[in-house]
């Protein structure tokens, strides 16, 4: 209490109960359901009927069908598929895995301390909560003072500034005041569109006639002089005998 004179009838005193200034949270007003909208409306209040504008559909005049571009298979008739059996090769199916029951070594009963035995309470140092970031105030380095250079100074007088800019097209000799397109903007129509069109010819590549492409021997590939089946032939003899490959060779010179 101070000795200064008070103004009005208010005097400093302790609050009789908790006030909103003592809490940083917005209070319980956000937890209440809203009274606007259709979803999550307050059930204790009247809810007016709501209507929607619907969804935007595609244009009904557009034909989105694929048309006859797909090839109909040969086995499809006007009464469905024909009775010809069809077979295909599938992969070998995998064997079904049996249910694997965990063994005694899969369990760890030593980790079940607080579930199977009485244990003392444990505490840990957790991370800083997200609500703490709302209490942070900016530091001295967050603020920036205005620069003392340039024409944009708040509390100081600035000398005149001049800059060199490019030549403006407004008022120059090449400014088009009419904004009309030039001759090259228009597309020239082909004379054959509105006049007689003469016949046109093109030179295509030479097409080979279909035939047998296998290689066949020519006249020089044959040797008729080596054939003696069509005329008589005298007997022929040769010198020497045929030896076996496993016979030992004849040794003449023997060193003593």
Tens of pLDDT, residues 197-244:
888 888 888 888 888 888 888 888 888 887 777 777 778 777 777 766
| 3-state DSSP of the chain | CCCCCCCCCCCCCCCCCCCHHHCCCCCCCCCCCECCCCCCECCCCCCCCCCCCCCCCCCCCCCCCCHHHCCCCCCEECCEECCCCCCCCCCCCCCCCCCCCCCHHHCCHHHCHHHHCCCCCCCCCCCCCHHHHHHCCCCHHHCCCCCCCCCCCCCCCCCCCCCCCCCCCCCCCCCCCCCCCCHHHCCCCCHHHHCCCCCCCCCCCCCCCCCCCCCCCCHHHCCHHHCCCCCCCCCCCCCCCCCCCCCCCCCCCCCC
Spatial contact of 131 and 26, defined as CB atoms under 8 Å apart = no
- Global confidence as pTM: 0.14
At 40-97, the pLDDT tens digits run 888 888 888 877 777 766 655 556 666 666 677 777 887 888 877 777 788 887 877 7
Distance of CA 236 to the CA centre of its chain: 85
Spatial contact of 33 and 40, defined as CB atoms under 8 Å apart = yes
Kindly give, in sequence order, each residue whose CB lies less than 8 Å from that of residue 47, ignoring residues fewer than 6 positions away.
38, 41
Spatial contact of 20 and 14, defined as CB atoms under 8 Å apart = no
Spatial contact of 128 and 118, defined as CB atoms under 8 Å apart = no
For 72, the token pair is 């109909």
At 153-182, the pLDDT tens digits run 777 777 777 778 777 777 776 777 777 777
């Amino acid at each position: 209490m101070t000795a200064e004179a008070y103004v009005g009838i208010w005097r400093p005193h302790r609050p009789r109960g908790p006030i909103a200034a003592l809490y940083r949270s917005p209070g319980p007003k956000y937890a209440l359901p809203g009274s606007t909208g259709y979803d999550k409306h307050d059930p204790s209040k009247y809810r007016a009927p709501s209507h929607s504008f619907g969804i935007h559909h595609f244009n009904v005049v557009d034909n989105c069908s694929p048309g006859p571009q797909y090839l109909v298979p040969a086995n499809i008739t006007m009464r469905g598929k024909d009775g010809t059996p069809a077979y295909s090769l599938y992969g070998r199916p995998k064997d079904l895995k049996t249910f694997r029951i965990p063994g005694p070594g899969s369990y760890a009963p030593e980790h079940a301390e607080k579930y199977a035995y009485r244990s003392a309470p444990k505490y840990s140092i957790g991370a800083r909560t997200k609500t703490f970031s709302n209490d942070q105030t900016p530091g001295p380095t967050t603020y920036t003072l205005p620069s003392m250079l340039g024409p944009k100074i708040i509390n100081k007088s600035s000398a005149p500034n001049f800059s060199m800019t490019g030549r403006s097209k407004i008022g120059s000799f090449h400014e088009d005041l009419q904004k009309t397109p030039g001759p090259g903007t228009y597309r020239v129509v082909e004379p054959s569109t509105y006049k007689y069109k003469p016949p046109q010819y093109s030179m295509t590549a030479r097409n080979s006639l279909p035939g047998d492409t296998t290689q066949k021997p020519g006249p020089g590939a044959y040797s008729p002089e080596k054939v003696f089946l069509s005329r008589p032939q005298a007997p022929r003899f040769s010198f020497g005998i045929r030896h076996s490959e496993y016979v030992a060779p004849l040794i003449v010179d023997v060193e003593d």
